Structure 1
Amino acid sequence: MTASDDVGRVADAVKGNWVDRIAPPWLRPWLRLSRADRPAGTWLLLIPCLWGLTLAVAATGFRPSALWIAAGCAVGALLMRGAGCTWNDVTDRHIDGRVARTASRPIPSGQVTVRGALAWMAAQAAAAFLVLLTFPPAAVLLGVVALLPVAVYPFAKRFTWWPQLFLGVAFNWGALLAWTAHTGSLGAPAVLLYLAGIAWTLFYDTIYAYQDIEDDALIGVRSTARRFGGRPGPWLAAFAAAAVLLMAAAVLAALPLPRALVALGGPVALGVHLAWQLRRLDVGDPDRCLALFRSNRDAGLWVLPFSALAAAM
Structure 2
Amino acid sequence: MVARVFIDGEAGTTGLQIRERLAMRRDLELLSIPEESRKDPAARADYLNKADIAILCLPDAAARESVELIQNDTTRVIDASSAHRVADGWAYGFAEMAADQAEIIASAMRVANPGCWPQGLIASVRPLIAAGLLKADFPLTYHGVSGYSGGGKGMIADYEGRGTDANVFAPYALGFNHKHLPEMTAYTLLEAAPLFTPSVGNYYKGMLTVVPLNLAAQDKVPTGAELHAALTDHFAATDNGFVEVAPLEPLERADFLDPQAVNDTNLLRLHVFANDARAQAAIIAVYDNLGKGASGAAVQNLNLMLGVDQATSLAA
TM-score, normalization: structure 2? 0.31
TM-score, normalization: structure 1? 0.31
Larger fraction in strand: 2
Q: Which has the higher contact order (CA 8 A, sep 6+)?
A: 1
